[in-house]
Amino acid sequence: MTLQFKPNETFRRDFTYRNSSAAILHFPFPFPEDQYMYSVNIEPHVKGGASPAYDHVFDVDEHYVAECRERAQVLAEDPKRCQVLPHMMAAQWDTLELLMENLAADYPAHFSLTKAGDLWTWINRPLGLHQSFTFGKAETLPCPPFEYITRQAQGDFTLQDQREDNLYVDGGMVTTQADWSFEFDIGMSFHEWHGPVPLAHEKGVFDRALKYLLRLQYGAPVRRLNWTMTINPRLDTSPENYPVWGPDKASVTPENVGQKVHLRVELQTLYRLPRSNAILFGIRCYLASLEEVARVPKWGKRLHRVLRDLHPDIEAYKGLPRFRQMAVDYLAPLDDGAELSKGIQSELTAL
Amino acid sequence: MSDQGIKSRPKYAPLELDPAGRHHLLLVEGPALPAEALAEGFEPAAFETWTVVNRSALLPVQVVDAQGESVRPFRAKGHLFSALEERLARETMGLRLYATGSEPFLWDVARIADAAGMSRQEIRLAQAGSKARRVFCVHCRTYGEGVTTSIFTCGGCGASLFVRDHFSRRHAAYMGVQVDAEVPGAVPDAEELYA
């Protein structure tokens, strides 16, 4: 896909964010079946697969420039959205290396990385950055290495330290989150930061996921999709700013539901880091309005069925009760009840 | 409502001596050891005990009483915490730390121990006394102390905060989230839950 960035779109106030037809087909639709329940839906993060969002290690799309600007805005308002505990310095450099090497390899037209020993030169053309620095020497960058590189990436990132047979969320860049507070959760163990999620603890999901992740190998990253729904294309739905965005939920009407209600998908990726043995967790957020999702007939029908039959505890946890029924009513006329193929693929080549 | 099913909320057990320890320091948020915090067979003489008596006219001097129990009283929690920081800074491997008292006290102790490099396995905590909570306002970062109700007014930003069972050991506090953010003014009645 040739990328045509849309640098002026916004994720607040006038909400000018929209998906082009190509971006809709690029959207990682999260439901392989007509029903949804929590599971350990982890698979190897290899290139290719059911969604074009899997074609690159770190996906860059038409919203890249605008999302980086939105991140800078959130950080200006609340610098604590990016914090890394002091013992995580090696993991900071690991992250910078992983992102720079993969962005440069996957998108050579946009990013380049050259190395002369420890002297590295990084060029980010979409953001107009040209930076020479010494790898391992934080004072040669304008800000700490984890912050430096994650300011230039879409999606949130957290750093998990591995010790005592557990994972601790000891660092993060979190500005595009689905209602969890990094400032509150920093330092928590795996089960603690997942504490509020309903049903999944009882199903043993977190016990199994933790065991799996403790054995995650360098060079063999994994991924899963997660989802919720957001009113307006707002990236920063943090608990910190809940008083700011909460009233949006009461603004949905049967007339505006197709434009206002967005399916919010997280492409979650996990990488073992080589020096620190920490895990980098990428949480890449995609937003598409119901109207946009429904342009792919299979997805509109399936979303209708998932929302119609959703477990009430999951509906409550994801904060959907005020508008779920309106979304179901909007999608119902588009669903002829036909049997749909398993899997998330759109089954279209163009829109 | 009293159990929101959230798994970050700590669980506590009565205090027992950790036989792997070399030296045992017991911190009590009060003048005397509460029986509810002790496991059967607990032997106070095996511990160096620090207490909080909330009185100014005393010196924090270790006294061994007739039963052979070593007790050092402090004027207030802050007084004890500053001595603890100094003590942990020069401790070596093998120390085990025990604390009993209200939840905010326990996790203030845990935070000081963590800063001194102790691992979670070297610390044992037993809740006793008041169940009142410390609550961190996620919107303005003000701590509310002594919260006993399901909803209370933030002393910082004035929001009506619902007290979630989500607990941060680092903040030694529960999370407070504005209860009427979606429909301002729609605040349910507060329930007395954490007396």
Average pLDDT on A287-315 reads: 97
Do A196 and B184 lie within an 8 Å CB cutoff?
Answer: no
Q: What is the pLDDT of residues A258-285, one digit of tens each?
A: 999 999 999 999 999 999 999 999 999 9
A196 in reach of chain B (CB within 8 A): yes
B6, B181, B184: residue with CB nearest A196: B6
By Cβ distance, the residue of B5, B136, B141 closest to A198 is: B5
**What percent of chain A is modeled with pLDDT above 70?**
99
The pLDDT of residue B2 is above 80: no
Sheet hosting strand B70-74, strand order edge to edge: B63-64, B70-74, B48-52, B23-28, B95-101, B123-127
**What tokens were used for A230?**
């957001």
A243 and B136 in contact by Cβ < 8 A? no
Q: Report which residue type is found at B18.
A: D
Residue among B5, B120, B139 minimizing CB distance to A243: B139
Q: Give yes or no for A203 touching B (CB within 8 A).
A: no
Rounded Cα distance between B152 and A81, Å, is 26
Q: Which residue of A has its CA nearest to B178?
A: A243
Residue of A nearest to B173 (CA): A184
Partner A contacted by B11 (CB < 8 A): no
Distance from C-alpha of B186 to C-alpha of B178, rounded to nearest angstrom: 11
Lowest mean pLDDT among A114-123, A153-162, B59-68: B59-68
pLDDT surpasses 70 at B81: yes
pLDDT in tens, A201-221: 888 889 999 999 999 999 999
pLDDT(B145) > 80: yes
Q: How close A64 comes to chain B (CA, Å)?
A: 28
As a whole number of Å, the end-to-end CA separation of chain A is 14
pLDDT band at B68 (very low <50, low <70, confident <90, very high): confident
Whether B66 and B160 have beta carbons less than 8 Å apart is answered as no
Q: Smallest Cβ distance to B168: which of A184, A241, A250?
A: A184
**Average confidence (pLDDT) over A287-316:** 97
* Residue A234 sits at the chain B interface (C-beta within 8 Å): no
* Separation between Cα atoms, residue B147 and residue A187, nearest integer Å: 24
DSSP A17-48: ----HHHHHHS----SSSS-------EE--S-
Q: Which residue of A has its CA nearest to B158?
A: A243
Q: What is the DSSP letter of B15?
A: B
What is the domain partition of chain B in residue ranges? 23-127, 130-195
Residue of B41, B9, B29 whose CA lies nearest to B99:
B29
pLDDT in the model for residue A287: 98
How many angstroms away from the CA of A132 is the closest CA of chain B?
36
pLDDT tens across A85-111, in order?
Answer: 999 999 999 999 999 999 999 999 999
Per-residue pLDDT for A332 more than 90? yes
Instruction: Tell me the average pLDDT across A170-187.
Output: 97
Give the separation between CA A212 and CA A214, rounded to whole angstroms: 6
Cβ-Cβ contacts under 8 Å, B135 against chain A = none
Q: Is 70 exceeded by the pLDDT of residue B1?
A: no
Answer yes or no: do A239 and B138 touch at CB < 8 A: yes
Cβ of B8 within 8 Å of Cβ of A196? The answer is: yes
Domain boundaries, chain A: 21-87+152-334
Residue of A nearest to B10 (CA): A192
pLDDT at A1 over 70: no
Interface membership of B121 toward A (CB under 8 Å)? yes
For residue B74, pLDDT over 80 is answered with yes
Q: Which residues on chain B are in Cβ contact (under 8 Å) with A196?
A: 6, 8, 164, 166
At B59, the pLDDT band (50, 70, 90 cuts) reads: very high
Dihedral, CA of residue A285, residue A288, residue A289 and residue A293, to nearest 10: -140
CATH 1.10.8, applies to B23-127: no
Nearest-CA distance A194 → chain B (Å): 8
Average confidence (pLDDT) over B39-45: 92
Nearest to A242 among B165, B171, B181 (CB): B181
Q: Which residues of A are less than 8 Å from B184 in CB distance?
A: 247
Contact status, residue A308 vs residue A328, Cβ threshold 8 Å: yes
Cα A205 from Cα A142, distance rounded (Å)? 41
- The lowest-confidence range among A44-53, A72-81, A198-207, B130-139 is A198-207
User: Is residue B15 scored above 50 in pLDDT?
Assistant: yes
pLDDT confidence bin for B7, thresholds 50/70/90: confident
Query: Would you please indicate which residues of A are annotated as catalytic (active-site) residues?
Result: 224
A184 touching B (Cβ < 8 Å): yes
Contact flag A195-B9 (C-beta cutoff 8 Å): yes
